[in-house]
Amino acid sequence: MNLHIRTLATLALVALTIGLLSLPQSAAAVSDCKKVEGNLSGGGGSGTITQGGLLNGTTQAIFTSAFTPTPNPNAFSFTDDLTITTDKGVLKTHNVGIFDFATGSFSAIDRIDPNASTGDFAGATGVLYINGKTPDGGATIEAKITGNICFAN
């Protein structure tokens, strides 16, 4: 892939990220927002969130794109959908991430899907952030998950 196409792809990813972060939220949802933070561990697309309060539970990530090159030859972007299953319900997110093969580091911006989430999370909005590392190319991960969930009720 030539430099011009890589630059355009990177700009498109940045524009998409900014667009997702600037989506308006309803006034009702904003009134009941909670900060969340926890530890995510796992591998092979599934995992567990601990020390996360209302996020404690299991996770399942389904990749929705292939790895896309970035201007950094060691870093690739990707998209996936994350399902977090807790005793409070199911929280679904749509994610844009970046993975650095040289360091094993990754980050993702996870936009909550209010229509696909259930239980206490039904109608919820907000953004979660996942930052972590993998020592073995993704077979196992250790990450922090943080963000805000704005409940519909």
Taking only the tens place, the pLDDT of each residue in 86-95 is 999 999 999 9
CATH code at 3-150: 2.40.350.10
What DSSP assignment string belongs to 44-62? TTEEEEES-GGG-EEEEEE
CB-based burial, 5-37: b 16+ in 10 Å, e otherwise? ebeebbeebeeeeeeeeeeebeeebeeebeebe
Taking only the tens place, the pLDDT of each residue in 46-82 is 999 999 999 999 999 999 999 999 999 999 999 999 9
pLDDT greater than 50 at residue 110 = yes
Residue spans of the domains in the chain: they are 3-150
Q: Is the pTM of this model over 0.85?
A: no
